Amino acid sequence: MARAPAVITSVVGSFPVEEGLDRTEALAGFYAGRPVDPFEGALREAVESQVAAGIDWVSDGQVRADMITLFSAHIPGMKVADGRTTVVGAIEPPARSITRGDMLMAKRFAGDQARVKGILTGPSTIALSCAVADGYRDERDLQLVHDIARVLRREAEELIANGAVAVQIDEPFFSTGVDELTARLAAVDSIAKGLAVPVAMHVCGDVSDLMGDFLALEHVNILDHEFAASPQVLDAISRDDLEGSGKRVGYGCIRSDDATVEDVPTIVTRIRAAVSKLGAENLIIDPDCGLRVFPREVARAKLENMVKATREVGGSE
Ligand SMILES: [Zn+2]
């Protein structure tokens, strides 16, 4: 009997960071004449932990900053002070790619053990996190969203040109009830349109009431949500919805808000619920959200059990 292809496992993105420079590595770099990157060690640790757990599509761990300043610190027209971003003029694409360097570093550490996914913070989540001093009406100005989307589109192309297996656009603010959701989703679609790899949109929280809007996205291929903390979201999607719209679900099945490491049978039960409702071929298995808040060992243990559970359900290996 032909074995079904294994279900892909991935992560949402962020990974624990232990502050400070690895002194041994830094000194070695210094004597080798290489500029010292204080985050290289954290990025390496994030990638290697995911690879060791058996994740198929890993992230760079988003180790350099929070999800907003990771981008805003590099976008002309934005200024960051004390961790807060202010829009000070018209948003322009940066002269150099924001994400290319970390994508290449993550690929180097992943080697041939895993593929690397590119992650972008969505235009509305960035815009709504800013204070606006000049150039736009306020943080709700849709022109601001549109201009940030243009910057992110270029980043998506850079990520793909440098080997991203997929691109994920994070819009957690959508679950908090934003105005003009349709226009904001169109901005996400404008980033995704015509890209050569699958594009996911990640929105955590209880998005049951928003699934109809999300399914109407034209160019996003994967809807990535939390189902461990919000199992009711599964009731809001059907197999027909997915197959009719050509989408898959990123099925968050371990909690990112609770440090208890779920055991394999618990995760197997969660995955089986999704497989029987949506079909294994329509799923990508990942955690509910980023794992930044946990100690490293917890993040690792959660991913290891998630991969074991996926293999048990999928019958692979
Ligand atoms: Zn999230």
pTM of the model: 0.94
Question: How many other C-beta atoms can be found within 10 angstroms of the C-beta atom of residue 295?
Answer: 12
Whole-angstrom distance, CA of residue 160 vs CA of residue 166 = 8
Q: What is the pLDDT of residues 221-238, one digit of tens each?
A: 999 999 999 999 999 999
Domain ranges, ordered by start, for the chain: 23-314
CA of 205 to the centre of ligand 1 (A): 7
Instruction: At 99, list the tokens.
Output: 């994400």
The pLDDT, as a whole number, for residue 130 is 97
Q: What stretches in the chain show pLDDT beneath 50?
A: 1, 316-317
| CATH placement of domain 23-314 | 3.20.20.210
The pLDDT, as a whole number, for residue 277 is 97
Whole-angstrom distance, CA of residue 149 vs CA of residue 155 = 10
CA of 246 to the centre of ligand 1 (A): 23
In the chain, what are the helix, strand and coil shares in percent, each to the nearest 5? 45, 15, 45
The pLDDT, as a whole number, for residue 35 is 73
The pLDDT, as a whole number, for residue 32 is 81
CA of 228 to the centre of ligand 1 (A): 12
The pLDDT, as a whole number, for residue 314 is 85
Instruction: At 113, list the tokens.
Output: 């053990």
CB contact at 8 A, 300 and 52: yes
The pLDDT, as a whole number, for residue 18 is 76
CA of 96 to the centre of ligand 1 (A): 27
CA of 16 to the centre of ligand 1 (A): 15
The pLDDT, as a whole number, for residue 317 is 46
Whole-angstrom distance, CA of residue 46 vs CA of residue 60 = 7
On the CB side of 216, how many CA atoms lie within 13 Å of its CA?
Answer: 10
Phi and psi at 217, nearest 5°, equal -55, 135
Q: What is the pLDDT of residues 4-53, one digit of tens each?
A: 568 999 999 999 987 655 667 667 777 787 777 888 889 999 999 999 99
